[in-house]
Amino acid sequence: MVRQLAACVVVVSMTAVVSGRTHAQPPARPAPAATDRRDETLRLIGALAGDTPLVRDLQSLTDRIGGRATGSAPNERAVQWALARFKDAGVDARAESFTMPVRWLERSAKATIRGDGVEFSPAVAAMPFSAATPANGTTASLLDAGYGKKEDFDRLGAAVRGAFLLVQQHELEDVDGLFREYGESAEIEQRAFAAGVAGVVYMGSRPYNTLYRHNVSIGASNTRPMLVMEHDAAEKALRLIRGGTPLTLTERIEIDGGGAYQAQNVVAEIRGATKPDEVVIFGAHLDSWDLGDGALDNGANVALMIDVARQIKRLGLRPARTIRLALWNGEEQGMIGSFGYTKTHAAELDKHVLAGSIDIGCGRINGFYTGGRPEILPAVARALEPVAGLGPFTQIDAPIVGTDNFDFMLHGVANLVANQEPALYGQNYHAHSDVFAKCDPQQLRLNAQITAAVVYGFANMDVTWSRQTRADVEALMKRTDLEQQMRMFNVWDEWAQGTRGRSKR
């Protein structure tokens, strides 16, 4: 996920939408419609419970290719890797090009702190969309900006102009902490940029001096060098400043940057037997940030998608609708690959019955965000019925911005995002520590079974909903916090201007 917002989601009544058992005495279940093809779903679930290549694929993607930021050579290798996996499984798959608007990769980032009688060079990471510095670096005063609150700026006054601000962070322990950190950094950066700082340096919030990448809140329009500094060195610098030793910071940031370029999604397809022009698409993003190996975010769910396709093919199952399993690119830099798909496939979107996304690591799938569309809740419950034993599942009927359901939502396509127990997601988010061993392989297998039930269920069941109009999507924005989420992501203007999402015609 680029980021996920917890605010304002509405947990719909448990009794209305919980699939599976929450009572000792289960309620009478409706007989599944013949079109649900429950026996086939159960065979698929059984196949995914076996010793499939799922975990070996994740190990291959993370240990052999590793971090794969869009635009990098490892990312291109990952596209070829995924195509080869689908080919080996006998699944039709293709690479589909789309345009990335801006090239941004860190080549190197270095920092040296100096003061009277002290000099040290902490490990740092450039924040995505950080500006580069001149080759010989940029040197400025390093100021103690506390937690970057308004009173800290008031205390520093005019001194912040042209200075680097060192901002403290609370240790990040879980997903809730991640939400808080994102919200706070947007406010800090707004104050800092308005005050004319040279750049912001965040104290690393992760244990053991782990570095990570957080997007600069204003995205590609940022013009300043922006860093995360390993925790202990940032603390040392603050102690020195607070003890009366003024410090300077020299930053040397080298960016592989540039304008628009082509990147590729990988889209696998299992053609529908009786309604081939109707599409159920589920996806996970193939790109990751590059400090770690992108296991939780989101290699695990890439391997999951591949295994679902592989087992459908191996069993010779013929869903009614066409199933597409998509490995998106450009997600971390603004959900650009799935945006590209909605442009390339614009003429088919009326026939897209559902678009699903999985992007919160390896924690148990405990339900789905259903996008503020109560009409699809009964269908989700029905699709989950064959895996009720892996529940309970609770749907949250709210629109969610932050991963690859987003552009489908703006196009009025019914969309799901798997909600997952946080497990080790938060601490390792976009970090050096997001590696293979952080994923629970047994839970990943169970999540594959849950996903398969939903994908296969929607590919076969009768549907009662259709694509929303732009007016319907606008109404959704009015009755939920969707607009607020979009503004926080810098994607509101694109919608308002009609360059992203369903057109006004």
Residue 184: count other Cβ atoms within 10 Å of its Cβ: 16
Nearer to Zn ion (CB atom), residue 298 or residue 415 = 298
Do residues 146 and 152 make contact, with C-beta atoms less than 8 angstroms apart? Answer: yes
Site for Zn ion in 264-323 (CB under 5 A): 297-298
What DSSP character marks residue 345? T
> Residue 342 to residues 101, 338, 474, 494: CA-CA distances in angstroms?
16, 6, 18, 14
Handedness of CA 397, 403, 405, 408 (dihedral sign): positive
247 or 424: CB nearest Zn ion: 424
- C-alpha to C-alpha distance for 30 and 28, rounded to whole angstroms: 7
Tokens of 178: 């991640």
Closest CB to Zn ion among residues 214, 321: 214
Of 336 and 379, nearer to Zn ion (C-beta) is: 336
Site stretch for Zn ion (CB under 5 A), options 61-69, 355-363, 365-373, 408-416: 355-363
Task: Kindly tell me which of 106 and 359 has the beta carbon lying closer to Zn ion.
Answer: 359
Q: Which is nearer to Zn ion, 100 or 379 (CB)?
A: 100
Q: Report CA-CA distances (Å) from 333 to 146, 199, 491.
A: 29, 21, 12
Q: What's the burial of 154, exposed, middle or buried (CB within 10 Å: 0-12/13-18/19+)?
A: exposed
Q: How far is the CB of 294 from Zn ion (least distance, A)?
A: 8
Q: How far is the CB of 279 from Zn ion (least distance, A)?
A: 23
Q: Is 144 in the site for Zn ion (CB under 5 A)?
A: no
Nearer to Zn ion, 298 or 447 (CB): 298
Say whether residue 1 binds Zn ion (CB under 5 A).
Answer: yes
> One-letter amino acid identity for 213?
R
Closest to Zn ion by CB, 1 vs 233, is 1
Question: Which parts of 207-266 interact with Zn ion (CB under 5 A)?
Answer: none
Which DSSP category does 449 fall into?
Answer: H
Q: How far is the CB of 321 from Zn ion (least distance, A)?
A: 26
Q: Which stretch binds Zn ion (CB under 5 A): 1-9, 113-121, 259-267, 375-383?
A: 1-9
Q: Residue 298 or residue 428: which is nearer to Zn ion going by CB?
A: 298
Least separation in angstroms between CB 11 and Zn ion: 23
Find the part of the chain contacting Zn ion (CB under 5 A) among 81-89, 166-174, 357-365, 425-433.
357-365
Q: Least distance (Å) from Zn ion to the CB of residue 443? A: 17
Report in angstroms how near the CB of residue 298 gets to Zn ion at its nearest.
4
Residue 417 near residue 368, CB atoms below 8 Å? yes
If binding means CB under 5 A, how many residues of this protein chain bind Zn ion? 4
Q: What are the residues whose beta carbons fall under 8 Å from the beta carbon of 212, sequence distance 6 or more?
A: 125, 204, 206, 228, 289, 291, 429, 430, 431, 432
Binding test (CB under 5 A) with Zn ion, winner from 40, 106, 307, 359: 359
Shortest distance in whole angstroms from residue 299 CB to Zn ion: 10
> Taking CA 99 as the corner, what is the angle to CA 368 and CA 66, rounded to the nearest 5 degrees?
65
State the nearest-atom distance from the C-beta of 212 to Zn ion, in Å.
13
Q: Which stretch binds Zn ion (CB under 5 A): 4-12, 161-169, 233-241, 356-364?
A: 356-364
Task: Output the smallest distance, CB 329 to Zn ion, in A.
Answer: 12
Strands 124-126 and 138-144 come out as: unpaired
Q: Minimal distance in Å, beta carbon 36 to Zn ion?
A: 31
Given the complex with Zn ion, which of 293 and 359 has the nearer CB atom? 359
Stretch that binds Zn ion, among 56-64, 167-175, 354-362, 445-453 (CB under 5 A): 354-362
User: At 303, phi and psi to the nearest 5?
Assistant: -60, -35
Which residues does 82 contact at the CB level (< 8 Å), separation at least 6? 93, 266, 286, 302, 306, 327
Question: Quick one: CA torsion of 194, 200, 206, 211, rounded to 10 degrees?
Answer: 130
Applying CB under 5 A, which residues contact Zn ion?
A: 1, 297-298, 359
